[in-house]
A and B are shown apart, each in its own frame.
Chain A
């Protein structure tokens, strides 16, 4: 007996069209979105935003799993599980639930590590994406608003990471988290009020009140805001359309498209070509995060034990993505309101300049092609100086290690570090500016000849 004919490759378009027509009849699909043009560049740098997005999706997926098992709170319970050091002992319920996830639930440790590393990769991917947008001038008119949303997202994500760091209520995370509470309480006049309003009291004394609140911020409030802003970010991208790298166009291959015509955007259609690349991007992101999760464990609770306000773990530091703020706090030194100046005023100024940058580097003219960084001496120099500043602050945060390497007392390295943090970024910016300006002149002269 002969079955139905097997479709050949030639039949595939008809099958696809039938499926599409079936769905379109019922859902009135938005045709123009499916074919939307996604510009390409030969290095795949336009996929950096997708890397961040997919890290967020992995965070949501693993976070849902962890949310089923995590219990916020500081009341003591007896842990009865496989982590031998605490088996049969009374520990805070939050600590016990994370121990259980890690050591008593199949693949729980792996999923928790994937969650942790996805958060780290999310932050780093946003950073790299912003570098690409900054240096290629993709934030310029008319895309200023999307830069503002993206930069705001960065700071929300840092806050989201901070909230999550505290949740296991281990001694290391709890001690590092206290730095944020000190900063919140340092605001003149309003400090205590702000700390009570946002967190519900002082840390870790009021952990029983604060942990459920941090948990709510971490799993509901902030993800909703981040998800909403991500949707707005992508909605604006669709509405305004992507910038395009002019050098990626090959007019010899493209029928009827001029190399310098920015009234049209050229790229792959969302379906089928860009969608396939997007799937590959997701899988690449997950693969690397899985490797990091498998081979580089972080925040192993048994090493530190539950929160103990009477002890300070050696070498305690906030998570790496706010190391630069830690460096600022150390450099400000013993001045009045030092925590407020180092933890609120200066980071606030830096954040505001970052968020408002498109309005500082503003032009009436719309720009739809990305710029060549070496053709823009001033913005590129400022970008290099900014990156150097953050790196120098991160070095200053490790002042103890610096002192150990150079063979000095920790206190003695602070003034040299202050001078270096001020001088090196400025010097690097000036060198970049001079080199790029010279290159611009050289190319202009070569073209004139």
Chain B
């Protein structure tokens, strides 16, 4: 990291971290239990869970968590993008037109756009194994989510299953993209409409 970037990060951190510390220290999170009396013929228990998280996080703490959440998404996407790039674009690229290169849709090329680099799909066993694994996990967590929704619908379980199902499906798409789609780079003229 360049020294100027470090200085800027330190400057922002010098005010941001005390603000966050103040917020978390005096955030007034609530741990008060909320009483629920399920009706007859109802299995709902939305407040039940397995981790002792707050009953409610305060508005200030929710701000800190929102930013941490956005940074987490950014980190997740950065990792996926680099994975697709590193594995899917290993080796020297090929060059040619859509007619010569397998798996390239006709619309990729136009009067104003051409293919400038192409890496063929690897379509190897590692890809099959990873796609199979994440397909299985996606179905597993989707099933758990559905069962939980139709049963106690506990908030923490729904959140966990939805998140794990979502991440599994994301990895399935990433692995399919990386191993079974050719990686194409195009150059397009800026001045066409």
A interface vs B, CB < 8 Å? 9-10, 12-13, 16-17, 20, 29, 31-32, 34-37, 40, 42-45, 47-48, 51, 81-85, 87, 102-104, 106-110, 113, 117, 120-121, 123-125, 128, 176, 239, 241, 253-257, 262-269, 271-273, 276-277, 279-281, 283-300, 302-303, 314-315, 317-321, 323, 368, 373-374, 380, 384, 387-388, 391-392, 394-395, 398, 400-402, 404-405, 424, 428, 431-432, 435-436, 439
Q: Is B93 an interface residue (CB 8 A)?
A: yes
Give the most central of A32, A35, A106, A286: most B CB within 10 Å: A35
Which chain B residues lie closer than 8 Å to A81 at the CB level?
Answer: 39
CB atoms of B77 and A44 under 8 A apart: yes
Which chain A residues lie closer than 8 Å to B23 at the CB level?
Answer: 398, 401
Which chain B residues lie closer than 8 Å to A32 at the CB level?
Answer: 107, 110, 112-113, 192
Closest chain-B Cβ to A85's Cβ sits at a distance in Å of 6
Q: Is B143 an interface residue (CB 8 A)?
A: no
Which chain B residues lie closer than 8 Å to A436 at the CB level?
Answer: 4
Which chain B residues lie closer than 8 Å to A323 at the CB level?
Answer: 59-60, 63
Chain B count of residues within 8 A CB distance of the other chain: 108
CB atoms of B30 and A37 under 8 A apart: no
CB atoms of A255 and B95 under 8 A apart: yes
B1-41 interface (Cβ within 8 A of A): 2-5, 7-8, 11-12, 15-16, 18-19, 22-23, 25-26, 28, 30, 32, 34-39
Specify the chain A residue showing the minimal Cβ separation from B183.
A273
Which chain A residues lie closer than 8 Å to B129 at the CB level?
Answer: none
Which chain A residues lie closer than 8 Å to B107 at the CB level?
Answer: 20, 29, 31-32, 34-35, 271
B interface vs A, CB < 8 Å? 2-5, 7-8, 11-12, 15-16, 18-19, 22-23, 25-26, 28, 30, 32, 34-39, 42, 44, 46-47, 51, 53-60, 62-63, 65-67, 69-70, 72-74, 76-78, 80-82, 84-85, 92-93, 95, 102-110, 112-114, 116-117, 121, 123, 149-150, 153, 155-160, 162-164, 166-167, 169-170, 173-174, 176-177, 180-181, 183-193
CB atoms of A303 and B34 under 8 A apart: yes
Assembly CA distance A414 to B84 (angstroms): 52
Which chain A residues lie closer than 8 Å to B162 at the CB level?
Answer: 110, 286-287, 290, 294
Task: Answer whether A432 and B166 are a contact pair too, CB < 8 Å, given A106-B44, A113-B155, A262-B190.
Answer: no
CB atoms of B34 and A302 under 8 A apart: yes
CB atoms of B170 and A280 under 8 A apart: yes
Which chain B residues lie closer than 8 Å to A107 at the CB level?
Answer: 149, 153, 158
Which chain A residues lie closer than 8 Å to B7 at the CB level?
Answer: 431-432, 435
Which chain A residues lie closer than 8 Å to B106 at the CB level?
Answer: 17, 20, 31
CB atoms of B153 and A106 under 8 A apart: yes
User: Which listed residue (B56, B158, B193) contacts A300, Cβ 8 A?
Assistant: B56
CB atoms of A44 and B36 under 8 A apart: no
Assembly CA distance A117 to B38 (angstroms): 26
Which chain B residues lie closer than 8 Å to A288 at the CB level?
Answer: 69, 72-73, 76, 163
Assembly CA distance A142 to B158 (angstroms): 46
Which chain B residues lie closer than 8 Å to A374 at the CB level?
Answer: 2, 4-5
Closest chain-A Cβ to B74's Cβ sits at a distance in Å of 7
Task: Answer whether A317 and B59 are a contact pair too, CB < 8 Å, given A294-B156, A405-B25.
Answer: yes
Between A and B, 10 residue pairs with Cβ closer than 8 Å are A9-B121, A84-B37, A241-B188, A276-B174, A279-B170, A283-B166, A300-B34, A405-B25, A424-B15, A428-B15
Give the most central of A13, A287, A404: most B CB within 10 Å: A287
Assembly CA distance A355 to B128 (angstroms): 49
CB atoms of B74 and A44 under 8 A apart: yes
Interface pairs A-B: 3 shortest CB-CB: A294-B159, A320-B63, A287-B166
Assembly CA distance A436 to B47 (angstroms): 52
CB atoms of B44 and A402 under 8 A apart: no
Assembly CA distance A241 to B35 (angstroms): 55
Which chain B residues lie closer than 8 Å to A35 at the CB level?
Answer: 105, 107-110, 113, 186, 188
Which chain A residues lie closer than 8 Å to B95 at the CB level?
Answer: 255
Assembly CA distance A288 to B163 (angstroms): 6
Assembly CA distance A82 to B149 (angstroms): 17
